[in-house]
Amino acid sequence: MRAAWDIRRMTQEHDRPDDPPPSWLSFLARPRWPFPGSTEAMRVAYDEDATAVAWLGVYLQTDDNLDVAQVDIEVHPDHRGRGIGRQVLQLLTDELPPVGRSRMLFECPMGGPGERFLRAAGARCMVADTQRRLDVTRMDVAHHDELLRDATSHASDYDLVTWVGATPTDMLDDVAVLHARMSTDPPLDDLVLEPEEYDAPKVAARDRMMAAHGKRVYAAAVRHRTSGTVVGITTLVVTSDVPTFGDQWETIVLPEHRGHRLGMLLKIANLQQVLVHEPQLEVVDTWNADSNAVMLAVNVEMGFVPVRAGGEWELTA
């Protein structure tokens, strides 16, 4: 694990030096504590001198999308150009189809070695997305307050609920519905995936996984007053060994409750909650599909700016 971690750390420092450092605690926890309904395995590739030159991570969902393997391949910057990545990829091309995994999915920034490697292997970019960043040390607090007031005025039929850590027990069923919608509602462009299965026990298991990864989870939700149903949620995560960096996770509102500026309400209210508990926070990153115009509009209004273009790639095994 330490060898794999060193390769991951060096790869990021070389290819994306402006990104916050990766979390050792979360990386170490990944094989033992994968996302509920999945397994994750890692390998390290060594050369003839017993030097660790690459690492491979394979993430397999076990409840749905059983033809898919999500893959990370990173070659140490000092050992590129030797065909190591191709050899590691060939391992997967040989091993995955016999167990029913006919598609490999990769994520990587555009314009770098990852894109060149995937194009050479015959992969196709299925989703174009962009990494965006909010510098919370320089953000316009007054503008955020104004946006929150405006969003609140349009959400008179809803109550805002915030929490830190595990999802409240009485909200687990509704939150499960919202998490499941994250696999169907955001644009996937050319990528075809089955809807993910979610229920209350899976949400609770995800909360335990987050804690095992050293992640402090901050969430905001909106409950429809008439029905009592939780109809929207957003989550922001701070990992304990990278405390200056926040990672914006899902934001989702049920379709029948959109048009009330609930996304803006959720994201700003949750960010304000985070800053009360995490005053050392410096930046928040988020990724969005370029075709997700509604969420992009919210992020731009909040002050998120582009960092780099990325893509989700598919390769037939």
Same domain, 58 and 201: no
Same domain, 56 and 174: no
Same domain, 198 and 263: yes
Same domain, 124 and 165: no
Domain-located, residue 283: yes
Same domain, 276 and 182: yes
Q: What share of the chain is helix, strand, coil (3-state, %, to 5)?
A: 35, 30, 30
For the domain that residue 14 is a member of, what is the CATH number? 3.40.630.30
Which of 88, 112, 131 is the endpoint of a domain?
131
- Reported as a single tens digit per residue, the pLDDT across 24-74 is 999 999 999 999 999 999 999 999 999 999 999 999 999 999 999 999 999
Which of 115, 131, 147 is the endpoint of a domain?
131
Using a pLDDT cut of 70, give the percent of the chain over it: 100
Listed as ranges, residues in the chain with pLDDT below 70 are none
Same domain, 111 and 160: no
- Reported as a single tens digit per residue, the pLDDT across 69-89 is 999 999 999 999 999 999 999
pTM for the predicted model, two decimal places: 0.95
Provide the token pair at 17. Answer: 């030096």
Measured over the CA atoms of residue 161, residue 166, residue 172 and residue 178, the dihedral's sign is positive
Same domain, 71 and 186: no
Same domain, 121 and 184: no
Q: Mention every residue, 6+ apart, whose C-beta is less than 8 A from residue 144.
A: 268, 271, 272, 302
Q: How many CA atoms lie within 13 A of 314 on its CB side?
A: 15
Same domain, 95 and 158: no
Backbone angles phi, psi at 168, to 5 degrees: -55, 140
Say how far apart CA 316 and CA 192 lie, in whole Å.
13
Range of the domain at 237: 133-305
Q: How many domains does the chain have?
A: 2
CA angle 263, 284, 300 (to 5 degrees): 50
Q: Which pLDDT value is given to residue 317?
A: 82
